[in-house]
Amino acid sequence: MALKTYVKISAVNNLSDARYCAGMLVDAIGFPMDTKQDNNLNPTSYAEITEWIAGVDRVVEFESNDLQTIQQICSECELEAIQVSDIDLLEALQTTGKKLIYKVDLASKSMDEIEDEISDVSEYIEYLLIENSKGETLQEELDAVFELAKEYDIVLGFGIEEKNVSQLISSEIKGISIKGGEEIRPGFKDYDEMADILEALEEE
């Protein structure tokens, strides 16, 4: 059954999440590939997971790697999209021919800074993913994201719950992004929160 909006699941590092989310017909699944981050995948583990999924965009996610490292990793992986947090990488990554996602964090950038940046790179990217690692979600921040979404393709990556997801997607955002989580043990996951949100988005 299709979902009511675009959905990306980020930071998936295990087969349980990947297969569950693909089965729920999300649009994209992101895999952490940054060599400087914890719980990241390498090309071999990435291939072992992604060979079991189909019908979704496979996104490789980077936080701090340099262009050469990203290009090398991407050359070893089958993928549809690349996500980075460094705006300076976007123009060069166009040569990969893959969709590009630019991720920003409201904990480190203001909405004014984000608006200036997206105006510079909107021609390079599939969409802007806005997250907020501060934890607390202010309505004024959501309102600012909704306003920006009137002009640019924005995927919301914070403040998403089962009780508010229908209201959030009634705005002009392109869609939402929620994070995967660690397995309790190999093959076992607690899907309660993710499942509640995804089930709320299922078309009737």
For 160, the enclosing helix (H) or strand (E) is none
In a domain, 53, yes or no: yes
Q: 138 falls in which pLDDT band (50, 70, 90)?
A: confident
Count other Cβ atoms within 10 Å, centred on residue 82.
Answer: 24
Question: Rg (Cα) of the chain, in Å, rounded?
Answer: 16
Q: 37 falls in which pLDDT band (50, 70, 90)?
A: confident
pLDDT of the residue at 186:
41
Number of domains comprising the chain: 1
- Whichever domain contains 99, its CATH number is 3.20.20.70
CA distance 170 to 16: 30
Report DSSP state, residue 50: H
Helix (H, G, I), strand (E, B) or coil at 131: strand
Question: What pLDDT digit, counting tens, does each position of 70-92 carry?
Answer: 999 999 999 999 999 999 999 99
In a domain, 1, yes or no: no
In a domain, 91, yes or no: yes
Both structure tokens of 130: 């806005």
In a domain, 65, yes or no: yes
pLDDT of the residue at 183:
43
Mean pLDDT over residues 11-34, rounded? 94
Range of the domain at 183: 6-200
